[in-house]
């Protein structure tokens, strides 16, 4: 089992809000975000995820560990990407921040997404090693 | 290399442009020539036939006049040496040619240009062309005919010597006393001289007895007028004299038409002393008065200021005139363009106003203004779009139901602006229809979610539906991903502004998110006066600096507004307290009056399917509702068993006392519908 450390490509965070994409293996894409995920930055997340899907990655992990706030627009992006997943493709979310977890809960999407507190758990889910625990 | 070539090219092009500008200046300058020299030319030209008519026939003199006139156009510049003393004899007429070709329109050069160059002294005097400007003019009197011949004998010194040569030839040829022929020759010489464009030929008609008519065509300045002065002696032939008088009258007539300043210069061309006063007076006028005469018919009658202005205008170079003309044309073009732009702006403003009116009508259709009061409940609603006018993705509705109940719908379609409008209307009227049909809020959202799942396309919507039962004084609301209402007892106290802590765990997902919704419902008892605030997340996600406005600040703002609060004043207050409002804001405010007691949660419902019953969400929901951990495992086990058996189970918690009372119900309607949907798919 590949660990998230053996990442072939990695781009650093840039600016106040950064997106870092890494690929632990040839099927998995980890999109890590930092800062506030609001109306102006939700498109960045959308294109990062869409590009990963277009590049053939079937296992997506959205790492919101360093995201302090997320609004309904970003939630909409996650909902849209989650709905567009093909059969066999999986997406999970890493989230520990209370504000973001509250938004997931309030919107009722905590039952829709596979949300985990750690990246390893999220990777295990998208690789099919664990079932849904939401 | 290339740069050198391009430099050459550009240089040649620049030269070409300069040449073109110069040519244009010349053309315009010729067209713009002052009238005064032309007048002088006329005088001189007319005087020529007078001279020639002494010796020749009228047609010939006419031809000479014609030639002189033709020449006159380019001849006005001649700086005749009128400024010089008349008495000073000149040794060389050719000196004046040094100024040939030089433009003499500049005032400094044109001191002498006024004068008719030709000077005729007495009768039988040798004729003489005016000398060049700046040089002493020479004047040949009668006895000085030798000097004129001397000038004719030095053609090399004169640029305009053809006339002189011709005259000399004529002298050599005409030894005989036939005046007619001599006159003819003189005329031809004159013609040649004038054709060269520079000469003043004075034809001494002489007496008929003096056949060797001394004709000297002395060249004048290059562009000079030709002046043929014929000191026609009284003894000349009578027939020609008649014609001469006629011409003289004509000339006088023309002279009379000239400005006063010119009249003296022209002089009466009647007799042999025809041009003598002309020369004398022509020495004085300067160039500037001539320009003034050209510009204004009567310069002497004008004030000094006007004269000064006219003088200044007169010395403006042609290039500056052209520049001014170009600038005026540019200004005109810009003015026209600005006017057109202004008209277009007005038209667009008008259209914008009409569009805003239309948008306002549509917005009113989507966002109705609720009645001030529905039964015992006061209602207000307000909406503030995020960017510019027009309705966005937020929607609300407040309306009465049967049995005196009241319904509230508020929601938010993902995205905002015009693409959200159709979904907004669809959602609002769909949910409203189910509420009006008598379904409770949770069932209304559940059915709407099932119906609208595909119609919303890629977008989804958070919706909250609520009903108020006036007799029971209870609010029942269900949310699909939407924030719960804020309930504030009246009068509000600063400390516990928010008296109800809603259970958000296990919230139902939005409509259109691909998940089954309409799974949660809450019943609130409002026994006493209270205010309920339904809002969209644009309100709580407005920014205070880098922080969110949040529901706590919203509750505080609502409490601060007190009893007189309305949705509009609440949103105004939020707008005042926040720095940025990136999303639409909508709010509905309901005010319940009478009674006593604090609002409290009566019932929490959670409908579980097989997956949810086994999930951590159910556990979180039960814990949030205050279920004791000891009971938790038993309740979860029972819920899973019921869900396995009936597909869905409704978990109901009643808060009558300290601990909630848990009960489970089977929702056969939903169960049947899901079975049908499963069989279809």
pLDDT tens digits, residue range A100-113?
A: 998 898 888 888 88
Cβ of A39 and B415 within 8 Å? no
Given a contact cutoff of 8 angstroms between Cβ atoms, the answer to whether B416 and B437 are in contact is no
Residue A68 lies in a domain: yes
Residue A107 lies in a domain: yes
Cβ of A72 and B583 within 8 Å? yes
Distance of alpha carbon B112 from alpha carbon B46, whole angstroms? 20
Closest CA to B224 of B140, B151, B135, B115: B115
Write out the residue range of the structural domain in which residue A46 sits: 18-126
pLDDT of residue B2: 42
Q: From A133, which residue of chain B is nearest by alpha-carbon distance? A: B615
More confident residue, B547 or A17: B547
pLDDT mean over B581-609: 88
Residue A82 lies in a domain: yes
Alpha helices in chain A (DSSP H): 42-54, 72-83, 98-106, 119-126
Q: From A79, which residue of chain B is nearest by alpha-carbon distance? A: B513
Choose the weakest-confidence range: A52-61, A112-121, B53-62: B53-62
Distance of alpha carbon B210 from alpha carbon B124, whole angstroms? 9
pLDDT of residue B482: 93
Question: Chain B partners of A36 at a C-beta cutoff of 8 Å?
Answer: 546
- pLDDT band per the 50, 70, 90 thresholds, residue B599: confident
From the CB of residue B550, how many other CB atoms can be counted at a distance below 10 Å? 15
Choose the weakest-confidence range: A21-30, B238-247, B254-263, B442-451: B254-263
- pLDDT band per the 50, 70, 90 thresholds, residue B376: confident
Question: Nearest C-alpha of chain A: how many angstroms from B661?
Answer: 24
Cβ of A105 and B504 within 8 Å? yes
Q: How many domains does chain A have?
A: 1
Q: Which residue in B457, B510, B518, B612 has the most chain A C-beta atoms within 10 A of its own C-beta, making it the best mutation to test that interface?
A: B510
CATH number, domain with residue A40: 3.30.750.24
Residue A51 lies in a domain: yes
| Candidates A73, A83, A107; nearest CB to B462 | A107
Question: Chain B partners of A109 at a C-beta cutoff of 8 Å?
Answer: 481, 509-510, 513, 515
Closest CA to B498 of B463, B470, B533, B466: B533
Cβ of B582 and A102 within 8 Å? no
pLDDT of residue B605: 93
| Candidates A72, A83, A109; nearest CB to B412 | A72
pLDDT of residue B202: 42
Cβ of B504 and A102 within 8 Å? yes
Residues in A lying within 8 Å of B, measured between beta carbons: 36, 38-40, 69, 71-73, 76, 79-80, 82-83, 102, 105-112, 132-134
Choose the weakest-confidence range: A14-28, B177-191, B433-447, B572-586: B177-191
B248-281: b (≥16 Cβ within 10 Å) or e: beebbeebeebbebbbbbbbbbbbbbbbbebbbb
- pLDDT band per the 50, 70, 90 thresholds, residue B495: low
Question: Nearest C-alpha of chain A: how many angstroms from B328?
Answer: 50
pLDDT of residue B198: 39
What average pLDDT is seen over chain A?
81
Q: Determine what percent of chain B is predicted with pLDDT higher than 90.
A: 23
pLDDT of residue B270: 41
Task: Specify the DSSP element, H or E, that contains B101.
Answer: none
| Candidates B505, B513, B583; nearest CB to A39 | B583
Distance of CA B290 to the CA centre of its chain: 44
Closest CA to A96 of A113, A75, A119: A119
Cβ of A109 and B615 within 8 Å? no
Question: Chain A partners of B508 at a C-beta cutoff of 8 Å?
Answer: 108
Task: Give the strands of the sheet with B585-592, arranged side by side.
Answer: B373-374, B377-384, B585-592, B530-535, B486-489
| ipTM of the modeled complex | 0.80
Question: Nearest C-alpha of chain B: how many angstroms from A132?
Answer: 9
Residue A81 lies in a domain: yes
Choose the weakest-confidence range: B154-163, B555-564, B612-621, B657-666: B154-163
Choose the weakest-confidence range: A49-53, A95-99, B425-429, B487-491: B487-491
Which residues, in sequence order, are CB contacts of B538 under 8 Å at separation 6+? B384, B386, B394, B412, B581, B582, B583, B584, B585, B586
| Candidates A80, A112, A133; nearest CB to B616 | A133
Cβ of B509 and A69 within 8 Å? no
Q: From B519, which residue of chain A is nearest by alpha-carbon distance? A: A108
Distance of alpha carbon B70 from alpha carbon B569, whole angstroms? 93
What are the φ and ψ backbone dihedral angles of B480, each rounded to 5 degrees?
-115, 85
Cβ of B460 and A79 within 8 Å? yes
β-strands B530-535, A114-116: how paired?
Answer: unpaired
Closest CA to B132 of B157, B106, B165, B168: B157
Closest CA to B93 of B231, B199, B223: B199
- For B127, which DSSP code? P
Cβ of B507 and A82 within 8 Å? no
pLDDT of residue A123: 92
Question: Chain A partners of B459 at a C-beta cutoff of 8 Å?
Answer: 76
Q: Which residue in A106, A109, A113, A131 has the most chain B C-beta atoms within 10 A of its own C-beta, making it the best mutation to test that interface?
A: A106
Choose the weakest-confidence range: A108-117, B73-82, B349-358, B518-527: B73-82
Statement: residue A15 has pLDDT above 60: no
- For B657, which DSSP code? S
pLDDT of residue A47: 87
Q: Which residue has the tokens 């958070």?
A: B462
Longest Cα pair distance anywhere in chain B, in angstroms? 162
- pLDDT band per the 50, 70, 90 thresholds, residue B525: very high
pLDDT mean over B89-102: 41
Given a contact cutoff of 8 angstroms between Cβ atoms, the answer to whether B585 and B391 are in contact is no
| Candidates B459, B517, B548; nearest CB to A108 | B517
| Candidates B458, B515, B583; nearest CB to A111 | B515
Residue A118 lies in a domain: yes
B73 three-class SS: coil
More confident residue, B363 or B300: B363
Alpha helices in B56-137 (DSSP H): 58-72
Closest CA to B164 of B104, B569, B521, B156: B156
Task: Specify the DSSP element, H or E, that contains B255.
Answer: helix B238-257
Residue A3 lies in a domain: no
| Candidates A36, A102, A111; nearest CB to B509 | A111
Question: Nearest C-alpha of chain A: how many angstroms from B566?
Answer: 26
Note if the bond before B611 is cis, omega within 30 degrees: no
Q: Which residue in B445, B460, B543 has the most chain A C-beta atoms within 10 A of its own C-beta, making it the best mutation to test that interface?
A: B460
Residue A134 lies in a domain: no
Question: Chain B partners of A110 at a C-beta cutoff of 8 Å?
Answer: 507, 617
Distance of alpha carbon B185 from alpha carbon B187, whole angstroms? 5
pLDDT of residue B337: 96
């Amino acid at each position: 089992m590949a660990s998230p450390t053996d990442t072939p490509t990695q781009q650093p965070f840039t600016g106040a809000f950064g997106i870092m994409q890494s690929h632990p293996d040839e099927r998995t894409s980890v999109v890590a975000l930092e800062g506030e995920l609001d109306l102006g930055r939700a498109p960045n997340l959308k294109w990062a995820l869409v590009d990963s899907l277009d590049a053939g990655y079937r296992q997506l992990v959205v790492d919101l560990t360093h995201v302090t706030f997320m609004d309904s627009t970003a939630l909409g992006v996650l909902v849209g990407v989650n709905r567009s997943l093909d059969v066999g493709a999986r997406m999970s979310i890493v989230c520990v921040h209370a504000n973001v977890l509250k938004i997931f809960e309030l919107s009722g999407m905590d039952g829709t997404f596979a949300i985990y507190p750690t990246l390893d758990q999220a990777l295990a889910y998208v690789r099919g090693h664990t079932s849904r625990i939401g | 290399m290339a740069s050198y070539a391009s430099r050459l090219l550009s240089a040649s092009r620049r030269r070409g442009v300069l040449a073109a500008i110069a040519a244009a200046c010349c053309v315009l300058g010729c067209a713009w020539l002052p009238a005064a020299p032309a007048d002088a030319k006329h005088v001189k030209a007319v005087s020529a036939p007078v001279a020639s008519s002494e010796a020749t026939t009228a047609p010939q003199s006419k031809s000479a006049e014609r030639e002189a006139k033709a020449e006159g156009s380019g001849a006005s510049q001649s700086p005749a040496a009128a400024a010089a003393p008349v008495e000073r004899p000149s040794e060389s007429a050719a000196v004046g040619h040094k100024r040939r070709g030089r433009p003499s329109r500049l005032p400094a050069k044109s001191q002498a240009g006024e004068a008719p160059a030709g000077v005729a002294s007495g009768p039988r005097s040798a004729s003489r062309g005016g000398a060049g400007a700046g040089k002493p003019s020479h004047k040949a009197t009668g006895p000085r005919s030798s000097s004129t011949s001397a000038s004719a004998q030095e053609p090399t010194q004169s640029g305009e010597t053809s006339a002189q040569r011709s005259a000399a030839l004529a002298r050599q040829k005409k030894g005989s006393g036939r005046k007619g022929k001599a006159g003819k020759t003189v005329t031809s010489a004159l013609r040649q001289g004038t054709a060269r464009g520079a000469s003043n030929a004075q034809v001494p008609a002489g007496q008929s007895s003096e056949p060797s008519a001394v004709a000297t065509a002395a060249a004048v300045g290059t562009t000079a007028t030709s002046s043929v002065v014929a000191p026609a002696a009284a003894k000349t032939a009578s027939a020609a004299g008649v014609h001469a008088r006629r011409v003289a009258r004509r000339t006088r007539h023309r002279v009379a038409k000239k400005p006063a300043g010119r009249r003296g210069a022209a002089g009466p061309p009647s007799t042999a002393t025809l041009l003598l006063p002309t020369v004398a007076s022509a020495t004085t006028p300067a160039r500037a008065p001539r320009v003034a005469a050209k510009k204004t018919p009567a310069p002497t009658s004008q004030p000094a200021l006007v004269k000064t202005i006219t003088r200044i205008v007169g010395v403006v170079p042609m290039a500056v005139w052209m520049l001014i003309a170009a600038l005026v044309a540019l200004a005109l073009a810009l003015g026209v363009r600005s006017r057109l732009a202004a008209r277009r702006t007005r038209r667009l403003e008008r259209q914008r106003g009409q569009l805003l009116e239309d948008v306002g009508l549509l917005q009113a259709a989507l966002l109705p203004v609720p009645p001030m009061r529905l039964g015992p409940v006061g209602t207000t609603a307000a909406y503030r779009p995020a960017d510019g006018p027009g309705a966005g993705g937020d929607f609300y509705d407040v309306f009465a139901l049967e049995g005196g109940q009241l319904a509230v719908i508020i929601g938010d379609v993902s995205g905002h602006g015009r693409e959200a409008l159709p979904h907004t209307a669809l959602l609002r009227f769909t949910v409203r229809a189910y509420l009006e049909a008598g379904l409770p809020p949770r069932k209304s959202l559940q059915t709407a979610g099932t119906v609208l799942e595909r119609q919303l396309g890629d977008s989804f919507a958070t919706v909250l539906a609520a009903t108020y039962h006036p007799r029971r004084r209870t609010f029942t609301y269900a949310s699909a991903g939407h924030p719960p209402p804020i309930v504030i007892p009246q009068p509000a106290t600063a400390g516990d502004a928010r008296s109800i802590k809603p259970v958000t765990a296990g919230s139902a997902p939005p409509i259109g998110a691909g998940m089954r919704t309409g799974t949660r419902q809450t019943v609130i008892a409002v026994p006493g006066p209270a205010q309920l605030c339904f809002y969209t997340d644009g309100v709580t996600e407005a920014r205070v600096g880098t922080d969110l406005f949040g529901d706590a600040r919203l509750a505080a703002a609502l409490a601060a507004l007190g009893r007189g609060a309305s949705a509009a004043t609440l949103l105004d207050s939020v707008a005042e307290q926040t720095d940025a409002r990136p999303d639409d804001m909508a709010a509905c405010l309901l005010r319940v009056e009478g009674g006593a007691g604090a609002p409290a949660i009566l019932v929490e419902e959670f409908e579980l399917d097989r997956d949810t019953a086994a999930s951590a969400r159910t556990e979180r929901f039960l814990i949030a509702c205050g279920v004791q951990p000891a009971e938790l495992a038993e309740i979860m086990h029972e819920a899973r068993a019921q869900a396995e058996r009936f597909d869905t189970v409704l978990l109901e918690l009643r808060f009558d006392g300290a601990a909630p009372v848990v009960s489970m119900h089977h929702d056969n309607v939903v169960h049947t519908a899901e079975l049908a949907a499963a069989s279809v798919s």
